[in-house]
Amino acid sequence: MKSAMVLVGSLAVASAFVPAAPKMSRTRGMTRMAVNDILGSDVETGGVWDPLNFSKDEGSLYRYRAVELKHGRLAMLAVLGLWVSEFYHPLYDGKISPGIKAIGELPGPAWLQILATIGVIELTVGKQDTENKAPGDLGFGYNFNPFKNDPEKFAELQLKELKNGRLAMLGAAGILLQESITGQTCFEQIAAQHLSPFGDGQGFF
């Protein structure tokens, strides 16, 4: 249920930082984009760094960017949810543990609700319009743009969302991984001063 709530919450702000529409073209029903026209494609690398040549498939770049934005937004909410749930998790009268332990404790009907909610959203209001909308623009919500007369500043704001989303994807994965290894939630590790997995007497190594 918590996952479904996180997903619904992300959709509430799904177009808060709607990306400026990159240069797109349609070929045989496929939306195509060039990597050099995508915001954030060369951040901190001094140019496009693509050793696996994903960017060569311009027909897939649109989907890659839409998926990256969606996952980044969900991950930002997920990290916040992991932190908040350590102190406040009212679902099921607070009997469900926070963090990764909740995965095994949720009853079967709860998982059915989560999957059904995700499916309905993905097929309806959360479906990306690949013909008329920029990646990440779901066509509803509040279009937050405090720099309507300054596209450069707005692009900077959008880049911050993108970079924070990328960091949150790594952060959420890291939180769950360290919890699965140590058996401690994020704040339990901090309280126990278990800040390094190497040689502190509490870690996995």
**Could you report the per-residue pLDDT of 38-87, keeping only the tens digit for each?**
777 777 777 788 888 887 877 788 888 888 888 999 999 999 999 998 88
Residue 3 — very low, low, confident or very high, per pLDDT cuts 50/70/90? very low
Cα–Cα separations (whole angstroms), residue 26 to 59, 65, 135, 138: 9, 16, 14, 19
**pTM, 2 dp:** 0.74
User: 157-170 pLDDT, tens per residue?
Assistant: 888 989 999 999 99
Under the banding of pLDDT at 50, 70 and 90, the label for residue 16 is very low
* Proportion of the chain above pLDDT 70, given as a percent: 77
131 in a labelled binding site: no
166 in a known ligand binding site: yes
Per DSSP, the residues of 22-52 read: PPEEEETTEEEE-GGGSTTTTTTTTS---TT
28 is in an annotated binding site: no
178 is in an annotated binding site: yes
Give tens-digit pLDDT for 132-147.
777 777 766 556 677 8
Is 32 annotated to bind a ligand? Reply is: no
Residues 6+ apart with CB under 8 A from 153: 147
Q: Is residue 63 part of an annotated ligand binding site?
A: no
Residue 148 marked as a ligand binder? no
Check whether 161 is labelled as a binding-site residue: yes
68 appears as a binding residue in the annotation: yes
Angle between helices 2-12 and 58-85 (to 10 degrees): 120
CATH class of the domain whose range is 2-191? mainly alpha
188: annotated binding-site residue?
no
Instruction: Name 40's Cβ contacts closer than 8 Å, sequence gap at least 6.
Output: 159, 162, 163
